[in-house]
Chain A
Amino acid sequence: MAKRILITDDALFMRVTLKKILTENGYEVVGEAENGLMAVEMYKSLKPDLVTMDITMPEMNGLDALRAIRSHDPEAKVIMCTAMGQKNMVVEAIQAGAKDFIVKPFQPDRVVEALTKFAA
């Protein structure tokens, strides 16, 4: 069965791009969240195998959403996918339980590699 992925990004363009990459590589996109708050709600109702998470978003940022999801489900697999690549940001995300940290702009292969590794 195809692995079920929840995409989180406030940019429509990025959701469309990620969905295209994931679908072409055999993943099922079960939800698209436009901010952290939506991601937390959708995680609870959809129970995806993996979440991609942007950081700079309105309503609730990706780091707070990551923490909320991991406190709801300590086994949750979340991959950060953001333009913010500062060291402190990466450290904060990994400490909060993110499995990987992809800095935009990315090549499709980089996303597929992370998913193959963590959504297995």
Chain B
Amino acid sequence: MKTEYVNPFISAATSVIEMVISEPPQRGSMTARPQVFTSQQINVVYGVTGPVQGQVIFGMSVQTATNIASRMVGNPIFSFDALAASAIAELGNMISGNAMTSLSNAGFDSDITPPTIIRGSNVKISTMDIPALVIGFTLGSLGEFELTVSVRERPARAA
């Protein structure tokens, strides 16, 4: 996968999270997977459409999601309810939106679809067989979070 498609998602994740929850994410390991797959408990899934297309997933444990949502809402949240889910989805939305802006500045005008939250681990999501890069992040005492980016340039249509 071309790094010019992945880097906007990494830098957007870092800058948006730092601004929204005042906690700079520390980047951890990066691994490659042949397909989109997540073993996290809470997953925010987006489609990317246009000249660069594919899927992006923000995955984390229920505990991390609850911690992040508490910080975003400004009050402690004790169970992962509708407001918490919405906060996490919106965080993912802001990261994807910012990444789209970077991609657009690089000449690729793609768009994102509204987010879907999938709860439950060991989910294989894509049928598109686009390889995925998984980047780990640590958020101080709030926990860890995983960004899975699976995008490619739109294949040319057959004549």
Contact = CB atoms under 8 A, between A and B. Distances in A.
Partners in one complex: yes
Interface string A76-117: 000000111111100000000000000111000000000000
**DSSP class of B's interface residues: helix, strand, loop or mixed?**
helix
Interface string A46-70: 0000000000111000000000000
B114 A57 contact: yes
Nearest to A12: B86
Nearest to A88: B109
B100 A86 contact: yes
Given A56-B112, A56-B114, A84-B97, A11 B89 contact: yes
Contact of B97 (A13, A16, A57, A85): A85
Given A16-B83, A56-B113, A86-B109, A11 B90 contact: yes
Contacts of B96: 83
Contacts of A12: 82-83, 86
Interface string A10-25: 1111101000000000
Contacts of A58: 114
B98 interface: yes
Contact of A105 (B19, B83, B113): B19
A11 B73 CA distance: 13
Contacts of B100: 84, 86
Interface residues of A, number: 19
Given A56-B112, A86-B109, A13 B90 contact: yes
B98 A13 contact: no
Contact of A13 (B16, B19, B83, B109): B83
Interface in B97-113: 97-98, 100-101, 104-105, 109, 111-113
Given A84-B101, A86-B109, A104-B90, 20 more contacts: A10-B114, A12-B83, A12-B86, A13-B72, A13-B83, A13-B89, A13-B90, A14-B90, A16-B73, A56-B111, A82-B97, A84-B111, A84-B112, A85-B97, A86-B101, A86-B104, A87-B104, A103-B101, A105-B19, A105-B20
13 contacts: A10-B114, A13-B87, A13-B89, A14-B86, A14-B90, A16-B73, A82-B97, A83-B97, A84-B97, A84-B100, A85-B97, A86-B104, A103-B101
